[in-house]
Amino acid sequence: MRQLNISVLPEKRAQLVDHAEMKLIGIPCIGLQDMGSKFRHAKESLLGLAAHMPQIIDASVQYGMWPQAAEQDVPNTHAYLLSVEVTTFEGIPEWFARMTVPAQSCVVAASQDGDFEGAGEIIEAFIETNALQPDPQPRDYIICERYRYNAEGFARYSFPILLS
Give the chain's mean pLDDT. 90
Q: With 60 as the cut, is the pLDDT of residue 6 above it?
A: no
In this predicted structure, what is the pLDDT of residue 154?
Answer: 92
Cβ 5 vs Cβ 61: under 8 Å:
no
In the predicted model, what is the mean pLDDT of residues 36-61? 93
Secondary structure of residue 114 in the 3-state scheme: coil
In this predicted structure, what is the pLDDT of residue 51?
Answer: 87
Residues 6+ apart with CB under 8 A from 13: 109, 110, 122
DSSP 100: E
Cβ 123 vs Cβ 109: under 8 Å:
yes
In the predicted model, what is the mean pLDDT of residues 64-86? 91
Secondary structure of residue 118 in the 3-state scheme: helix
Handedness of CA 160, 73, 34, 98 (dihedral sign): negative
Comparing 7 with 107, the larger pLDDT belongs to 107
User: b/e per residue, 72-109, with b = 16+ CB within 10 A?
Assistant: eeeeeebbbbbbbbbeeeeebeeebbebebeebbbbbb
Gap between the Cα atoms of 116 and 128, Å rounded = 18
Structure confidence by residue, pLDDT tens digits, 89-132: 999 999 999 999 999 999 999 998 888 999 999 999 999 999 99
